[in-house]
Amino acid sequence: MSDLKTQLTLHEGLRYELYECPSGKLTIGVGRNIEDRGISPDEADLMLENDINIAQNELRQRVGVFDQLTDTRKRVLIDMVFNMGITRFMTFQKMLGALAKSDYQKAAAEMLDSKWARQVHSRADSLAEMMKRG
């Protein structure tokens, strides 16, 4: 199998971002035609796990109180980073300041007082409630 994988990688190439193959199909990886084949449930789950780990690691590096939060509050922050990315998340300075002071009511209020909350509606409401309750 490893010889076949090496051969296919050589012939197809390996690309980590979507591209258009010569036949005009959106493709990724080693010639995976996303338009016609999509991904399997196992692949979707693996990508989700990887993305969760990335978000969690970014938060650990950039939010000093992250590891002191309850699991529920960690989930809130991971969900937000998953949704908007770490760069945009880090613009929530008032929320982050409230977290640093363990003022979870204010952190929740700051979450809701944002363009993000107006865009994601019930997701923000749910996450703010989780932030309050811990």
Confidence band of 134 (pLDDT split at 50, 70, 90): very high
Residue 25 is given by DSSP the state -
Residue 119 is given by DSSP the state H
pLDDT tens, residue by residue, 100-130: 999 999 999 999 999 999 999 999 999 999 9
pLDDT tens, residue by residue, 56-68: 999 999 999 999 9
User: Domain residue spans in the chain?
Assistant: 2-37, 41-133
What is the CATH architecture of 41-133? Orthogonal Bundle (1.10)
Look at phi and psi of residue 85 and say left if phi exceeds 0, alpha if psi is from -120 to 50, else beta.
left
List strands edge to edge, sheet with 15-20.
15-20, 26-29, 32-33
Reported pTM: 0.88
CA 6 from chain centre, in angstroms, equals 31
Confidence band of 85 (pLDDT split at 50, 70, 90): very high
